[in-house]
Amino acid sequence: MNPEYGTGCFRRLVRTFRVPGKILVTLDDTHHSMWLVMHHANGHVTDIEARVARGPATSCGSADRPLGKLKGLPVDGDMLAFRERLPPVLNCTHLMDLAYWAFRNATSQTPLKREVLIEIPDEAGAPVWIKVERDGAIVHNWYVQDHHIVEPPKLAGKPMMKGFASWAREQFSGDDLDLAIMLQRGVFVARGRRHLVDLSPAVPLNAAPAMRDACHSYSQDHFDTATSIVGYVRDFTDGVAVASLPPHVTAYFKGFFQ
Q: Can you tell me the mean pLDDT for 162-189?
A: 97
Backbone dihedral region for residue 239 (phi beyond 0: left; psi -120 to 50: alpha; all else: beta): left
Examine the pLDDT at 116 and tell me if it is beyond 90.
yes
pLDDT for residue 155: 98
Exposed, middle or buried, 125 (CB in 10 Å: 0-12/13-18/19+)?
A: exposed
Cis check for the bond before 152: say yes or no (omega within 30 of 0): yes
Q: How far apart are CA 250 and CA 246, in angstroms?
A: 7
Q: How confident is the model at residue 110 (pLDDT cuts 50, 70, 90)?
A: confident
pLDDT for residue 80: 85
pLDDT for residue 121: 98
Tens digit of pLDDT for each residue in 3-40? 999 999 999 999 999 999 999 999 999 999 999 999 99
* Contact partners, residue 111, CB within 8 Å, separation at least 6: 18, 19, 20, 255
Q: How confident is the model at residue 107 (pLDDT cuts 50, 70, 90)?
A: confident
Tens digit of pLDDT for each residue in 40-55? 999 999 999 999 999 9
Rounded (5°) CA angle 35-40-46: 90
Q: Can you tell me the mean pLDDT for 247-258?
A: 92
pLDDT for residue 182: 97
Tens digit of pLDDT for each residue in 198-228? 999 999 999 999 999 999 999 999 999 999 9
Domain assignments of the chain as residue spans, ordered by start: 9-252
Examine the pLDDT at 258 and tell me if it is beyond 80.
no
Q: How far apart are CA 111 and CA 204, in angstroms?
A: 44
pLDDT above 70 covers a percentage of the chain that reads 100
Q: Return mean pLDDT, the chain.
A: 96
Examine the pLDDT at 77 and tell me if it is beyond 80.
no
Examine the pLDDT at 78 and tell me if it is beyond 80.
no
Q: How far apart are CA 222 and CA 58, in angstroms?
A: 9
Q: How far apart are CA 53 and CA 32, in angstroms?
A: 8
Are the CB atoms for 208 and 37 separated by under 8 Å? Answer: no
